[in-house]
Structure 1
Amino acid sequence: MASVDIVIPCYNYGRFLPRSVESVLSQNVRDLRIIIIDNASTDDSVEVAQRLMRMDSRIALVRHAVNLGPHASFNEGIDLAGADYFMILCADDLLADGVLSRAIDILEVCPQAAFLLGAEGRPIIGDQEPGKQRHPSGWRLTSGHRFIERCCRTYAQDLAAYAILARTRVQKEVGHYRASLTHLDDVELALRLACEGAVVEIESPLVIKRLHADNLSEGMWQDRKFDLQERERAFESFFAREGASLPGSARLHALSKRRIGEAAYWSAASHFVRGHAGQGRALLHYAFALNPLSMLIPPIGHLYRTKGAFRRVSSVVASRLGGGA
Structure 2
Amino acid sequence: MRGEVMNNTLGTFIPNYNHGHLIERALSGVFDQELIPDQVIVYDDGSTDNSVEIVKRLQKKWPQITLIEGGKNIGGIHVSRKGMDLIQTRWINYLAADDAPASGIFAKAMAMADKYPDAGIIMGQMRITHEQTGAVKVTGVQGWDEPQYVSPDRFLNEYMRTHLPNHGLGSGTLWRKDALVECGGFRADLFSWCDTFAARAMALEYGAIYLPYPVVEKGYSETCYSHRMGRDMDVMLKVIDRGVQLMRSEQFRNLFPASYVYGWRRDYIKFLEQL
1:71 is aligned to 77
Give the whole-Å Cα distance in 1 for the aligned partners of 2:234 and 2:218: 21
Moved more, 110-119 or 154-163: 154-163
Structure 1: gaps (5+ residues): 131-135, 272-325
Moved more, 111-120 or 136-145: 136-145
Q: Note the C-alpha offset of 1:222.
A: 5.2
Give the whole-Å Cα distance in 2 for the aligned partners of 1:182 and 1:31: 28
Give the whole-Å Cα distance in 1 for the aligned partners of 2:69 and 2:183: 25
Q: Note the C-alpha offset of 1:100.
A: 1.5
Moved more, 75-84 or 213-222: 213-222
2:131 is aligned to 125
Q: Does 1:186 align with 2:195?
A: yes
* C-alpha spacing 1:212/1:259, structure 2 compared with 1 (3 Å): closer
1:21 is aligned to 27
Q: Which has the higher strand share?
A: 2
Moved more, 87-96 or 148-157: 148-157
State which of 240, 249, 262 in structure 2 corresponds to 1:254: 262
* C-alpha spacing 1:27/1:110, structure 2 compared with 1 (3 Å): same
Q: Contact 2:11 / 2:89 at 8 angstroms: preserved in 1?
A: yes
Q: Does 1:54 align with 2:60?
A: yes
Q: Note the C-alpha offset of 1:27.
A: 0.9
1:105 counterpart SS class: helix
Give the whole-Å Cα distance in 1 for the aligned partners of 2:13 and 2:83: 6
1:207 counterpart SS class: strand
Q: Contact 2:11 / 2:40 at 8 angstroms: preserved in 1?
A: yes
Q: Note the C-alpha offset of 1:227.
A: 8.6
Give the whole-Å Cα distance in 2 for the aligned partners of 1:192 and 1:115: 10
2:116 is aligned to 110
* C-alpha spacing 1:8/1:39, structure 2 compared with 1 (3 Å): same
2:215 is aligned to 206
Q: Contact 2:11 / 2:39 at 8 angstroms: preserved in 1?
A: yes
Q: Does 1:143 align with 2:145?
A: no
Q: Note the C-alpha offset of 1:263.
A: 3.5
Give the whole-Å Cα distance in 1 for the aligned partners of 2:125 and 2:245: 24
Give the whole-Å Cα distance in 1 for the aligned partners of 2:104 and 2:78: 29
Q: Note the C-alpha offset of 1:38.
A: 0.6
TM-score by length of 2: 0.82
Percent of matched pairs sharing the same residue: 22
Q: What number of residue pairs does the alignment pair up?
A: 260
Give the whole-Å Cα distance in 1 for the aligned partners of 2:271 and 2:221: 27
Give the whole-Å Cα distance in 2 for the aligned partners of 1:202 and 1:156: 21
Moved more, 138-147 or 193-202: 138-147
1:239 is aligned to 247
Give the whole-Å Cα distance in 2 for the aligned partners of 1:63 and 1:20: 18
* C-alpha spacing 1:219/1:157, structure 2 compared with 1 (3 Å): closer
Q: Does 1:92 align with 2:59?
A: no
Q: Note the C-alpha offset of 1:118.
A: 1.0
Larger relative contact order (Cα-Cα within 8 Å, sequence gap ≥ 6) = 2
2:208 counterpart SS class: strand
Larger radius of gyration: 1
TM-score by length of 1: 0.71
Q: Note the C-alpha offset of 1:252.
A: 1.6
